[in-house]
Amino acid sequence: MKQHLHTLFTRALAQLQAQRVFPENITVDIRLERTRDTRHGDFACNAAMVLAKAAHIRPRDLAERIIEQLPTNDEFIAKVEIAGPGFINVFLTQTAYYTVINDILTAQQAYGHSQLGAGQTVMIEFVSANPTGPLHVGHGRGAAYGAALANLLIVAGFKVHKEYYINDAGRQMDILATSVWLRYLELCGETLAFPLNGYQGDYVWDIAANLHREQGDAFRHSAPVVFENISPEIVKADDLEKLMDALIERSQQLLGFTAYRLFFEKGLEIILEDIRGDLEQFGVVYDEWFSESRLSTNNTVAKAIEQLKAGGHTYEQNGALWFRSSAFGDEKDRVVVRENGQFTYFASDIAYHLNKLERGFDHIINIWGADHHGYVPRVKAAITALGADANRLTILLVQFASLFRGKERLPMSTRSGEFVTLRELREEVGRDAARFFYIQRKSEQHLNFDLELAKSQTKDNPVYYVQYAHARISSVFRRLREKNQTWYHNQATLKRLETDREQALLFTLSRYPEVIESAAHAYEPHQLIYYLRNLAQDFHTFYDDDRHIILVDDEQLRNARLSLIATVQQILRNGLTIIGISAPEVM
RNA sequence: GCCCUGGUAGCUCAGUUGGAUGAGAGCGUCUCCCUCCUAAGGAGAAGGCCAGAGGUUCAAUUCCUCUCCAGGGCACCA
């Protein structure tokens, strides 16, 4: 509908431009907005006020000229009037609303799809947690948000590629492998001081136990030997990272390449399988799992750094190779090759982004935890230095989620292994509630996730509120069958929908395509959540109004109301599906 | 110190690509509503100097600057 009006206004203004009412070199960007007050009609256009200056005409007079150019016999426009400082208010006809019902019932699950994306490709990378432990509730938010955003973009006409980047090549993975080995040694009967900065979680024991079952004591070394060259002073000096590095080196030395890789791969494999299964059960699936190690295998990192070097964007200092990112807006330069010859994490990140660019996506979206925001300028700098347009990359930051049980805040600390996993969260509150709560808030807002509320089965809980509206409608249709009545849709009957409650529903329904476009454009699935709550509320209000029993004896009225609620149900289902929540028939 | 993100009703949060006499929702509080398709629901009331101060213009909660408050980030870690 909005689209339709937009076309009419564009045409009207083009005609005025042709008549030299205002200069031709002015770009006319028509903005049609929903009015806040129904007395101002359905849509308002402020073009007259915006263009008044350029046209040297008073806003209200210009509005007059614009209206003259609008068709007078459009079946969707009831009237057009000028108001306030020069707003052009458009009032829609009932036919316009009835058409919405027809359209929804015809298009069904495809209703609300838009051409905003025009087939452009988008790669969206999200979660990408290090495979060093199970996903926690913070990752859950990124997962829910990323998946919903991907669905939203698909519906808005983009071709979407969802990707998980597996950080399986860095030092963290070595820490994991070493942690597993140390636990394994303990299972062999060794007594040792497990490093405080190793991975403490129980899952490390599980992996070690798995290996111990398969391999027995084959890789046992005595604890004193393992810690032989590792001076206690290091620990005393509290330099835990140095201790860790020494232990990693020691385990590689004692185990040899093949055996070390066994521990490394086992940990990776088990954890990755856990993550993958966890996400799948959360309803989050990917098109591709992209492994970081693939980059080093293919020398992509080296090539990317070479490319920077060739472009003259690097220099050597203190034995390290630096990327001059400050020349592209970063606050300081960054090391890409360390003194010891190893690439930094940033270096492989540059390579990964180069790889993304080379795959030719029109848009690249990264969803990161807000704590990574400091990386945004350097990654964009790298893209620019590599000769690409940094605007192709959009980095969306998601704030962390704090868990509450009622008033009590639950502690979260990843390193110590003291955290609530996504799996535990799902088991406690269920997938639907988890996804709803995650997406309910704007992503850059801190999220307080109340487990009690998410579990409650009352109207306090917005998940149930929306789902219940859907189930209630199913229930009406079940009742219809029980009474051996049938429903057929006929637009002619819709004029029987004349109460305020019914009109309110028609109005809310008509906004759906606009909400989809707006939410997709702003990358804000929470807009859709708010809309669905709104629609559910309008429905419950309608449903509970005692004058509005749906299955009335009057066949025409009954069919009209059934058409109306069938439409509501379709939109609820479409919206819930985008967010990744089920639409139950019974509750 | 520098850089991000927020600061809207008692609580949790929408809204703002600047708009039209009174700024919205849910929860909580207070009043009501099941002989009726699920009350996992509905109707109504109270509740606000949109953190503060300046500026930009026809118009600012929305844009700019400064201040205050909260959270996060500032590694040859990932």
The pLDDT of residue A548: 67
Q: Specify the nucleotide whose C1' lies closest to residue A39 (CA).
A: B20
Paired residues of A316 in beta bridges: A321
* C1' (B7) to CA (A524) span, angstroms: 21
Q: In this structure, is the dihedral angle defined by the CA atoms of residues A214, A217, A218 and A219, taken in order, positive or negative?
A: positive
Is-contact A45 A31, C-beta < 8 A?
A: yes
The pLDDT of residue A164: 95
Angle in degrees, 0-180, between the axes of helices A240-281 and A202-215, rounded to the nearest 10: 90
The pLDDT of residue A65: 84
Q: What is the DSSP letter of A343?
A: B
Half-sphere CA count of A19, side-chain side, radius 13 A = 13
CA distance A336 to A216: 41
Dihedral angle at the C-alpha atoms of A492, A496, A498, A499, nearest 10 degrees? -140
3-state secondary structure A390-444: HHHEEEEEECCEEEEECCEECCCECCCCECCEHHHHHHHHCHHHHHHHHHHCCCC
The pLDDT of residue A272: 95
Paired residues of A347 in beta bridges: none
Which of A391, A396, A397, A328 minimizes the C-alpha distance to A362?
A391
* C1' (B53) to CA (A370) span, angstroms: 31
Q: Specify the nucleotide whose C1' lies closest to residue A342 (CA).
A: B76
Q: Give me the phi and psi of A412, to 5 degrees please.
A: -135, 120
CA distance A406 to A409: 8
The pLDDT of residue A331: 84
Give the closest residue to B40 (Cα–C1′): A458
The pLDDT of residue A236: 53
Give the closest residue to B58 (Cα–C1′): A85
The pLDDT of residue A416: 53
Give the closest residue to B21 (Cα–C1′): A84
The pLDDT of residue A414: 52
* C1' (B38) to CA (A469) span, angstroms: 10
Is-contact A174 A264, C-beta < 8 A?
A: yes
Pairing of strands A314-317, A288-291: unpaired
Q: Is A341 exposed, middle or buried (0-12, 13-18, 19+ CB in 10 A)?
A: exposed
* C1' (B24) to CA (A35) span, angstroms: 14
Pairing of strands A401-405, A334-337: unpaired
* C1' (B37) to CA (A95) span, angstroms: 28
Question: Where does residue A105 fall: left (phi above 0), alpha (psi -120 to 50 degrees), or beta otherwise?
Answer: alpha
Give the closest residue to B38 (Cα–C1′): A472
Question: Where does residue A384 fall: left (phi above 0), alpha (psi -120 to 50 degrees), or beta otherwise?
Answer: alpha
- pLDDT tens string A378-390: 999 999 999 998 8
**In whole angstroms, how far apart are CA A425 and each of A25, A210, A420?**
58, 26, 7
- Domains of chain A are 2-92 (3.30.1360.70), 171-281 (no CATH), 462-579 (1.10.730.10)
Which of A366, A346, A368, A358 minimizes the C-alpha distance to A388?
A358
Give the closest residue to B26 (Cα–C1′): A460
Position of tokens 């807006």?
A: A329
- pLDDT tens string A388-443: 988 899 999 888 788 887 777 776 655 555 678 899 989 988 999 999 999 988 88
Give the closest residue to B28 (Cα–C1′): A460
The rounded average pLDDT for each run of 10 residues, N- to C-terminus, in chain A (587 residues) is: 83 80 66 77 81 75 84 87 82 90 93 89 93 89 93 94 92 92 95 85 93 94 86 59 85 93 94 95 95 86 93 92 90 90 90 93 91 88 91 87 77 62 89 91 82 75 90 94 91 88 89 90 91 92 80 90 95 95 93
CA distance A480 to A569: 15
In sequence order, the 6+-apart residues with CB closer than 8 A to the CB of A188 are: A212, A217, A220
CA distance A247 to A534: 57
CA distance A53 to A352: 49
In strand B, the nucleotides that come within 7 Å of a protein beta carbon are 2-6, 12-15, 17, 19-21, 24-28, 33, 36-43, 58, 71-78
